[in-house]
Structure 1
Amino acid sequence: MIAIYPGSFDPITLGHIDLIKRSSILFEKVIVAVLKNPNKTPLFTVEKRVSQIKECTKNIDNIEVDSFSGLTVEYAKKKQAGVLLRGLRVMSDFEQELQMAHINKTLESHIETIFLATNTELSFVSSSVVKEIAKFGGSIEHLVTSNIAQDLYRSFAQKN
């Protein structure tokens, strides 16, 4: 079965990578799909995020990295995926994700949403927190891969 792991991944964190690795064991193929969200102003371009994710997942055989815009369920149908993957860190994630899962089910009844709990040691990691720390020059090497850390520091140095 094919699973889609959609998100903005701005940037991809060790928490995302952990979920990708764990889901790659559960599914025949996992497509990490970067959403082109017109309501967000990302730090990195979609192309850069796709490139970053490819670099971080290059050693996982059954991973594909792509980008899309529009409804996630429409993208999943196009890719013939039967599952949407979502990571849960805290209870507030569950409330938001459950609502989205119900909405997606009304749009496409054949696609299931599966939630994976993050590993405890990564449950506090979010892309927003990582960017905030990097913006002020703090250490993020324990939250993202070294190539992502370099990209973040470089990006914030250019803005200053």
Structure 2
Amino acid sequence: MTGKAFYPGSFDPFTLGHRDVLRAALRLSETVVVAIGRHSSKAGMLSHDERRELIEASLTAEEVSRIEVVTFDDLATEAAVRHGCTTMVRGLRDGTDLNYEMQLAGMNGQLRPEVQTVFVPSTPATRHITATLVRQVAAMGGNVAPFVPEPVAQRLVAQHKKI
């Protein structure tokens, strides 16, 4: 696979699992568009600008040179086409993810057949990590360092000390 891949998500916060999937996508594509979804009904823990900053701070300079971080508030398939992507990358942690992602890939394939969904399995070391659980651990003052890149851990600790 070459060209541009589209990797959508909330990335609130960017986890080690997200980074593993992104790195796999970079092995498959020349460029990856990391697309932060905007949901008007969901208040995020981190602003979109903070998410962008932390994603870039969590990668090597070479990796950052091969990504574009964007936001979108429409269908992921439409955003992928708008950014010139023909592949959508989705991470899979377990069978529950697979069932949901297969439904999503089917719908996306009907909406935009020219955008092919590619599944990337999580590594065993990151399979248990979800952004939702990381948010909960951070909110309760727990140690998030095993689950997120160092810049993200520092930001979450600083943010929750303010509360």
TM-score bracket for the superposition, by shorter chain length: over 0.9
1:133 matched to 2:137: yes
Partner of 1:155: 159
Alignment of 1:100-139 (within 5 A): 100-139=104-143
Q: Please, which runs of 5 or more residues in structure 1 have no aligned partner?
A: none
Give the aligned CA root-mean-square deviation in angstroms.
1.2
Alignment of 1:38-77 (within 5 A): 38-59=40-61, 60=63, 61-77=65-81
Cα deviation, residue 58, structure 1? 4.3
Q: Please, what TM-score do these two structures have when normalized by structure 1?
A: 0.94
Q: Please, what TM-score do these two structures have when normalized by structure 2?
A: 0.92
Q: Please, which runs of 5 or more residues in structure 2 have no aligned partner?
A: none
Query: What amino acid is the match of 2:6?
Result: I
The alignment partner of 1:106 has SS state of helix
Cα deviation, residue 74, structure 1? 0.8
Query: What amino acid is the match of 2:152?
Result: I
Cα separation, 2, equivalents of 1:112 and 1:106: 11
Whether contact under 8 Å (2:58, 2:150) holds in the other structure is no
Percent of aligned pairs with the same residue?
Answer: 30
Partner of 1:94: 98
Cα separation, 2, equivalents of 1:67 and 1:57: 18
Cα deviation, residue 69, structure 1? 1.1
Partner of 2:146: 142
Cα separation, 2, equivalents of 1:137 and 1:156: 7
